[in-house]
Structure 1
């Protein structure tokens, strides 16, 4: 059993019925000690600091207990260290956990972490911010911004916010250059997602062909989303066959540069980062070790 530090976000997820410290103690050996530690976060960004400290203390695994936002913070803290990222899913969507086939049951995830398999995954960057699952511009970032202000979490809240904002959001003209294709792509952007993993979360597959270990990012471009196409996109994401619907265009790349005609919201792993008109996106192959 690797020496493990659990970084616990007490506010993650739509429900918090588990006594997580007690469950961790049951699976990792009593009331603490040298083999494991539990450290709760106190504010946004705290998990980055806690993860970096745990790596410096020699913990072999630093496990994020939370959703994709918590996982992003812990993963950022571990970049360039000898510690591996573990995951105990407690989020609203759990996109990276689902892609890595981490059990969504907390006890099952803890049992898996007692004897994990170690491997390495690619890491994306958008305007210097690392992401492990997805990042993007446009409608998904717009929804992330409003979802963060909704007051409640969970899939139903996300769907409610998305339906409300669908009537308000308008696409923006962009110019994009991908290192994998010649020339400049000039188009409208309703959604431009950069996928390291295959899904947003809740098995909504935005880029089902994406692979965390292939040394490439997958871009999914939707230039407009009228009602008929919105139904096709929603069904395609739910069924995992969005590329086959021809409702979106796909590009694989290692580096991309995007310029927007007006400020566009953007996100990394579901966390809204603000608005910008220029976006630099890149990939660092096999930059993070994971324990799953």
Structure 2
């Protein structure tokens, strides 16, 4: 009998909307047990998953599966950066941005079938102020919404859009100095999003032309916002048309982007609010993460 692939499932027991899906039972039923030798471990606190993932990689585990939402995926992927261990995703969150970009099915059974295929590719990752991201990072209004969204009991795209419409009048653009492709830019900034993948999650496309394997950072700048622009941008994000919208400007770069502000600005990483800073350094890490895809 050929050697079975070692797999560690890292499960966030609090991730995503309430669900009656018994993940353990689905794994038992749909995982190919002739191909895989597996174990289940559970996160016990925020920041636990990177340690569990790195331990698995150091022990020679070939695949580590993130069972949870974008925050769980980010933590597991962080622990696997620049290793030979591949990331797989069983999406169980409200946004599932990386899973959607990679076209991983949104149901557990379908995602397990992807795992069974063992089709591995390598993707880029990004980094903002030393913090890795795999879909998007950003400063300004989207980070503010992330901070508000984190404390909201309701999840999902409808809640996110409702929060945007409610809060758009309460947030003020700030002046920034940016260096992009070696060019200096002084501008108002309502949102500056840094995209490795095309979407935030929930099929809301902030950078519809982003390629997760091209080594390039897609930068989306919205200088000012009002309710009319917010409605336009929301519609364009949901229809993959934001790259053509007059409300947003796009840049692509393989170089580090630096942004400086006089006032502290909020920032997020893969949808999780990280805090505030006055200087941001953003760069790409080309082909730094192995992942399982359909």
Same fold (TM over 0.5): yes
Contact 2:156–2:202, Cα closer than 8 Å, also in 1: no
1:5 aligned residue:
8
Aligned residue number for residue 103 of structure 1: 105
Give the aligned partner of residue 17 of structure 1. 20
Question: What is residue 53 of structure 2 aligned with on the other side?
Answer: 51
- Which residue pairs with 1:171 in the alignment? 173
Within the alignment, does 1:212 sit opposite 2:212 as a pair?
Answer: yes
2:142 alignment partner, one of 129, 140, 143: 140
The answer as to whether partners of 2:161 and 2:234 remain within 8 angstroms in 1 is: no
Counterpart for residue 228 of structure 1: 228
Q: In the alignment, which residue of structure 2 is the partner of 1:268? A: 269
Provide the residue aligned with 1:188 in structure 2.
188
2:5 & 2:229 partners in 1: Cα distance? 48
Q: Gapped runs of 5+ residues in structure 2?
A: none
Counterpart of 1:75 in 2: which secondary structure?
Answer: helix
Secondary structure of 2:123's aligned partner: strand
Structure 2 CA distance for aligned equivalents of residues 162 and 249 of structure 1:
20
Deviation of the 1:116 alpha carbon: 2.4
The one-character-per-residue Cα deviations of 1:52-94 (angstroms, maximum 9, x if unpaired) are 1111222111010111110100000011322001111111111
The ranges of structure 1 where at least 4 consecutive aligned residues each deviate by more than 6 angstroms after the TM superposition are: none
- CA RMSD for the aligned pairs? 1.7
Residue 72 (structure 1) aligned to one of 71, 74, 90 = 74
- Return the offset for 1:159: 2.7
The residue aligned with 1:290 is 291
Q: Distance in 1 between matches of 2:222 and 2:58?
A: 43
Cα shift at 1:103: 0.5
Q: What does residue 252 of structure 1 align with?
A: 252
Corresponding residue SS for 1:91: coil
Q: Secondary structure at the match of 1:231?
A: helix
| 1:28–1:36 Cα contact (<8 Å) kept | no
Instruction: Give the Å deviation of 1:247.
Output: 1.4
Assess if the C-alpha contact under 8 Å between 1:2 and 1:115 holds in 2.
Answer: no
The normalised TM-score by structure 2 is 0.94
- TM (norm. structure 1) is 0.95
Secondary structure of the residue aligned to 1:11 is coil
> Structure 1 unaligned runs (5+)?
none
Q: CA deviation at 1:181?
A: 4.6
For residue 29 of structure 1, report the CA deviation from its aligned partner.
6.1
Q: Distance in 2 between matches of 1:215 and 1:80?
A: 15
Deviations 1:144-202 (A, max 9, x none): 11111113332333233323322211111101001x253x1111111100000000011
Paired with 1:241 and 1:159, the residues of 2 have a C-alpha distance of 17
Local SS of the residue matching 2:132: strand
Task: Give the paired residue count.
Answer: 289
